[in-house]
Chains A and B, each alone.
Chain A
Amino acid sequence: DQQVKQNSPSLSVQEGRISILNCDYTNSMFDYFLWYKKYPAEGPTFLISISSIKDKNEDGRFTVFLNKSAKHLSLHIVPSQPGDSAVYFCAASGGGGSTLGRLYFGRGTQLTVWP
């Protein structure tokens, strides 16, 4: 049962435009959300996170928005650059008890930024 869902396996965006990657979750106990970026033949690297007490977090060109009522978060990249082409994973943690600290991942979205 997938608790974190990324329904778009791929996204193609022109350089300079905005990239919007979406993520939905089902577990209302999740209280911390993260985005990871993965290049081929490398491990995932942390990109940005947001706590459930916030609805927005920015870091340079990257902004994550959280809508708790809809159990939805999104990652905005503005402006998109060719070097942003990678697989982006959404992840969530929380839930309490023995699962605290464990990350639940979506299936990833392949972002391609073309010149």
Chain B
Amino acid sequence: DAEITQSPRHKITETGRQVTLACHQTWNHNNMFWYRQDLGHGLRLIHYSYGVQDTNKGEVSDGYSVSRSNTEDLPLTLESAASSQTSVYFCASSLDQGANTEAFFGQGTRLTVV
């Protein structure tokens, strides 16, 4: 079955370290998204991509970067982790830019920056 997987599920890192969260989908979806979920803020968009070599900033992109070298993967990198980036991170994918379809979410990565 097609799916979307995130790794790791849990991560503890130190302030200032570079961290990369992986996201892999097997639906061959063009659109991929990274969100963070924080209490009182719901799901906020970090970065998104509409296809290979395409990346766009979301509403909370500072301190994060993504790259899209193939259709299946959109890794999220925290350049220098900060305590404010302690959060639960969700990756999602959807079919393509022109279609009104739902996005499918991964199980999430809980990141703690100490």
Contact = CB atoms under 8 A, between A and B. Distances in A.
B42 A106 contact: yes
Interface stretch (A39-47, A56-64, A71-79): A39-47
B90 A101 contact: no
Nearest to A49: B102
Interface residues of A, number: 26
A107 B40 contact: yes
Given A43-B108, A46-B104, A93-B100, A102 B45 contact: yes
A42 B110 CA distance: 11
Nearest to B104: A46
B31 interface: yes
B100 A43 contact: no
Contacts, number: 59
Residue with the greatest number of chain A CB neighbours at <10 A, chosen from B40, B42, B58: B42
A44 B96 contact: no
A31 B104 contact: no
A100 B98 contact: yes
A89 B42 contact: yes
Contact of B103 (A51, A98, A103): A103
A113 interface: no
Given A44-B90, A46-B102, A101 B43 contact: no
A40 to B, nearest CB: 10
Nearest to B90: A43
Contacts of A93: 100
B54 to A, nearest CB: 10
A41 B98 contact: no
B56 interface: yes
Nearest to A5: B42
